[in-house]
Amino acid sequence: MALAGLTVLAASACTAPAPPRPAAVSPPPSGPATLPAPTGEHAVGTTVLHLTDTSRPDPWNLDADARQLKVTLWYPTEQRDGRRAPYMSPKESQLMVKRLRSAAVPDDTLSKTGTNAVADAEPAGRGLPLVVLSPGFTKPVSTLTSLAEDLASRGYVVAGVDHPYESYATTLADGTVAECLACDSDADPGFGPGVVGGRAADVSFVLDRLPAKWDGAGVLDRGKIAMVGQSIGGASSVASMLADPRIRAGIDMDGTTYARIPKSGLSRPFLFLGTPQHVPGGRDLSWERDWKLLTGWKRWIVLTGAEHQSFTDGPLLQGALGVTPVSGTLSGERAAELTRTYVAAFLDRHLKGLRQPILDEPSPRYPEAKLCPSACAAS
């Protein structure tokens, strides 16, 4: 399982399977990791909200008559000094490390990962676009922290949604940690469509409640909302856009899609950003199917050398987790740079109206990025 642990975590529920490859020999862990600094001009703050949707029961916990959600916010702030927010709690770290099945990795490895955001800092700015983040199956939204911090430094408010019982570890409002009940169902018929439908309901509820529940909501422009997700979180971007017209633009980072787009099409801007398995005629044909039904602005970009977790913090944490990178794949630093660059370019174009040439033509700075369907093909 796993990065090799965090790198594979439940791929069966979120993307087409990759072919087998030789296992890398794991070196000893190198000590706590620190995420790369954000590239924007703003300092970054972060805070956590807990929301409860009493209108529906939890789809996974049959003993819960309401759906609880954990929402992590990242946003611009003028406060550059202060306590840096933890990457995850010690208990969350313990549960995640347990899933890596590596006796050499200390339980607190992930809780000691260094971040760049000041905990509970005062938000700054006005008229800021909102970006909703949804993580892959089994993983908490903290595994998208590097991307979230970078977007906040560029002038976005980011709302990362943890979908309880679909992750190995989600801390609820009362301090208990919800584990992955959905993991017992991931081979059931209809599992993928059911998950993305439930996440679409989660996202709509967050959009409903965020203005009233967050004291800093006055910085938002609620007319400029996008959604970005990785793996089944990316598939949930499609489902959420179909369910909620408030979401003006969306990105699917390497997620097999499940929600069926109607024949009338989806006319809002959309970006597919993925690995070579998503080239036309490749192992996963869901993007090729849906490409024809995206009737608005659209791009389909494949990154040479990317793996499924290249769009997350996974490769950045390999040294701390004692994982040897697979030969021929992007380094953690390069994967983070490419992900941050193309996600921000898309959002800048569609939420800020800024011209972004790298979305229209190949860039010599980023030769790994291939514009599909014309410039890439199945190998």
pLDDT band at 99 (very low <50, low <70, confident <90, very high): confident
pLDDT band at 377 (very low <50, low <70, confident <90, very high): low
**Mean pLDDT across the chain, nearest whole number?**
91
Say whether pLDDT at 170 is over 50.
Answer: yes
Q: Is residue 197, in this structure, part of any structural domain at all?
A: yes
Q: Is residue 50, in this structure, part of any structural domain at all?
A: yes
- Note the pLDDT tens digit of each residue in 270-280: 999 999 999 98
Domain that holds residue 157: 44-372
Q: Is residue 168, in this structure, part of any structural domain at all?
A: yes
Q: Across-strand partners of 371? A: 301
- Note the pLDDT tens digit of each residue in 313-324: 999 999 899 888
* Range among 86-100, 125-139, 277-291 with highest mean pLDDT value: 125-139
The pLDDT value recorded for residue 27 is 66
- DSSP codes joined into one string, 280-307: TTSS--HHHHHHTTB-SSEEEEEETT--
- Total domain count, the chain: 1
Least confident of 102-106, 188-192, 329-333: 102-106
169 — phi, psi (to 5°)? Answer: -160, 115
Taking a C-beta distance cutoff of 8 angstroms, is the pair 238, 244 a contact? Answer: no
- Note the pLDDT tens digit of each residue in 353-373: 999 999 999 999 999 999 998
The pLDDT value recorded for residue 282 is 86
Average pLDDT over every residue of 237-264: 97
Average pLDDT over every residue of 98-103: 76
The pLDDT value recorded for residue 375 is 79
The CATH number of residue 239's host domain is: 3.40.50.1820
Q: Is residue 11, in this structure, part of any structural domain at all?
A: no
Say whether pLDDT at 185 is over 60.
Answer: yes
Alpha helices in the chain (DSSP H): 90-100, 145-153, 191-213, 232-243, 286-291, 332-351
Q: Is residue 12, in this structure, part of any structural domain at all?
A: no
- Note the pLDDT tens digit of each residue in 16-57: 444 444 444 566 677 789 999 999 999 999 999 999 999 999
Q: Across-strand partners of 132? A: 159, 227
Say whether pLDDT at 1 is over 60.
Answer: no
Q: Is residue 4, in this structure, part of any structural domain at all?
A: no
96 — phi, psi (to 5°)? Answer: -70, -45
